[in-house]
Structure 1
Amino acid sequence: MRHKQTIARFAGVAVGAILLSGLVACTNSDEPADAADTNTSSESSEVTLGKGGREAAEAVKQDPAVAALVPEALRQKGTLKLVTDPTYAPIDFTDDAGNIIGVEPDFALATANKMGLKIDNGKADFNGIIAGLESNRYDASWAAFSITPDRTAVVDMVSFMNAGTAIMTKKGEENGIKKEEDLCGLTIAVQTGTTQALEVMPKFEQMCKDKGLKAITPLVVPQQDSANQSVSSGRAQAMIADNALVAYYAQVKPTVYAAVPGILVEPALIGVAMPRINDSKLAEAYRAAIQSLIDDGTYQEILDSWSLGNTALETAKINPKVG
């Protein structure tokens, strides 16, 4: 996800590969695109992404116990002024009409509904959002923030999901991988230079060796679309990448790719950020709202609609210790 003051490559994946563009990626000149991978039929249109999550968020009703925690000034105002950088599909991005959509906008709406508030979700450059929160220009920000000690030193953050490395297969083959050991003996595609290639793949290879299982055959390719095409063509049985990227491809090409459920490697906490104001109850209100969504099942429904079910937490926490 996003770290420090730049849009991070959480798992070494270029953000441009997952920006909303109507297509999955440009074609790699070193390898012909798989026909299925270049299908741009209506079933893969980005405007349908996460429809169930948005519907679930819109259906959320006020929780009186959560609403009671909302700071009086916000309760009187009635609207949360939010900000994000919508360039990170499927977490935060825009549809053809310019509407901000994604898993975080769904959670922003759902939590506000729990609080009995409306939302005004604006756009800003990612690098300036934390400073904007510190100066109280915004009430909160859902912007794919990884929770770090540097950030919790200056703003409050409430955890709501994990990020990490996920596994993608050809559609219909995802259930053949139940655990990490099931990768042993398979050909696994990965983009060169990524954290998956430099750190995660070697760990998988060592795991197979330590357990006396068949060795993984790494297929290291120069571009992400080549890794995807290796899976769709059957050249590789699986691909490892940033979980957001995997979820995005599973969404835009649902008849071609699938995200393996239940496996998230080296998870890192993601949180909603807000100003640290003396005696403010907003962080506690957000914690209670997220926990209420977890408890009533809406939380999992939203994550599942974005193919991010494996990022779920059981408990929301304020400024959890990480690292």
Structure 2
Amino acid sequence: MARSLSQRLFLAGSVAAIGSLLLTGCGSSKIGGNSGAAPDASQTVNSEGTDPALVAMVPAALKSKGTVLIATDSTYAPSEFKDAGGNIVGMDVDLGNAIFKKLGLTTQWQSADFGSILGGITAKKYDLSFSSFTDTKAREQQVDMVEYYNAGEAIATLTGNPYKLTGVAADLCGVKVSVEANTTESAEIAQTINPACKKAGKAQVPDNGDQFTAQTDSTSAVIAKRDQAMLADSPVIDYAVKQGQGQLMKIGQDYNTAPYGIAIPKNDGRLAQAVQGAIKDLIKDGTYGQILTKWGVDSGALTADKVLINAAAS
């Protein structure tokens, strides 16, 4: 994942100094903390009002409640993570708040384990989720996915590349790789990378990757030299490198670029269409671009015509 995706960071000793940053930090991509949480985390964005036509599309039960409960894996900076005060912040949070303001609803954000979120939506525990989910056909069987951002996958290792890695996923045979559980990346190791390694007669990635429930812990494992590389969504890798105080470097190029999707209950009235319309509004009025720029992730911006529903390629 991009993030089908991902979780989080830090330890002790020399890592402790970074640990306070990383532990605060989310599928498909978290490091966090007030210090350096974003290129300019205090930057404000447009505050547009509601869109009456879209408000009319909100299901009656949700409109009556007035609040939307949003699940998120708050360990995935810069998309969603906790700041030093314990508040859930990030690109997805700013975008979600702006979307539901358009729809006349107040947002309530709740931290959740990434692997449990889709089941929680189908069980009606949550109204929906922003959590850097890569839109896949398998996920579309459980929920409707409204695409809102493009992310790829990427690889990071210790600065100086002491293990002489190429930065190509196919070359990770025999490498100890940390990864967030239940993400696109963890599935890639098990379903693509290791079968190819086996076919080529090479050693496989041990244990289908060193699996963590938080991206912050995955990052910490590389810093602590428990693992040799980290596989995660490209925004997460980029952010981890920026916040890692020189301990991490990105190797190779982003690959497997695909859209993130907002996970919404299947066939929930016209809610998916309302959310889609709100994103298009935010793109047109400039709020969307301001939010992405605020968090340093504008390279994955979509144009309004690319904000699709259930359009996964695979």
Normalised by the size of structure 2, how large is the TM-score? 0.64
Amino acid at match of 1:46: G
Instruction: Identify the match of residue 46 of structure 1 among 33, 40, 52.
Output: 33
Shift of 1:46: 3.0
Query: Who is 2:135 aligned against?
Result: 147
Cα pair distance change 1:225/1:290, threshold 3 Å: same
What residue ranges of structure 2 are gaps of 5+ in the alignment? 22-30, 173-220, 226-230
Cα pair distance change 1:265/1:56, threshold 3 Å: farther
How far apart are the structure 2 equivalents of 1:118 and 1:88? 23
Asked if the contact 2:32/2:78 (under 8 Å) is kept, the reply is: no
Query: Who is 2:256 aligned against?
Result: 266
Cα pair distance change 1:129/1:245, threshold 3 Å: closer
Asked if the contact 2:58/2:103 (under 8 Å) is kept, the reply is: yes
Shift of 1:57: 5.2
Query: Who is 1:180 aligned against?
Result: none
Cα pair distance change 1:167/1:84, threshold 3 Å: closer
Residue 289 (structure 2) pairs with residue 300 (structure 1): yes
**Matched residue SS, 2:15:** coil
Q: Tell me the alpha carbon deviations over residues 59-95 of structure 1, each in whole angstroms, 9 at most, x when there is no partner.
A: 2322223222212222221111111121111111101
Cα pair distance change 1:45/1:270, threshold 3 Å: closer
Residue 169 (structure 2) pairs with residue 198 (structure 1): yes
Query: Who is 2:309 aligned against?
Result: 318
Shift of 1:118: 0.3
Asked if the contact 1:300/1:309 (under 8 Å) is kept, the reply is: yes
Asked if the contact 2:223/2:247 (under 8 Å) is kept, the reply is: no
Higher-Rg member (1/2): 1
Shift of 1:102: 1.1
Amino acid at match of 2:104: G
How far apart are the structure 1 equivalents of 2:291 and 2:171? 28
Asked if the contact 1:191/1:224 (under 8 Å) is kept, the reply is: no
Write out the 4+ residue segments of structure 1 that deviate beyond 4 Å after TM superposition.
51-58, 165-168, 188-194, 223-227, 253-259
Cα pair distance change 1:89/1:140, threshold 3 Å: same
Cα pair distance change 1:321/1:113, threshold 3 Å: same
Q: Tell me the alpha carbon deviations over residues 227-255 of structure 1, each in whole angstroms, 9 at most, x when there is no partner.
A: 9xxxxxxxxxxxx9742234314653799
Query: Who is 1:60 aligned against?
Result: 48
What residue ranges of structure 1 are gaps of 5+ in the alignment? 9-14, 28-36, 169-187, 202-222, 228-239
Query: Who is 1:75 aligned against?
Result: 63
Asked if the contact 2:54/2:277 (under 8 Å) is kept, the reply is: yes
Q: Tell me the alpha carbon deviations over residues 240-292 of structure 1, each in whole angstroms, 9 at most, x when there is no partner.
A: 97422343146537999999xxx8543111111011145x1110011011111
Query: Who is 2:89 aligned against?
Result: 101
**Matched residue SS, 2:75:** coil
Q: CA RMSD in A?
A: 4.0
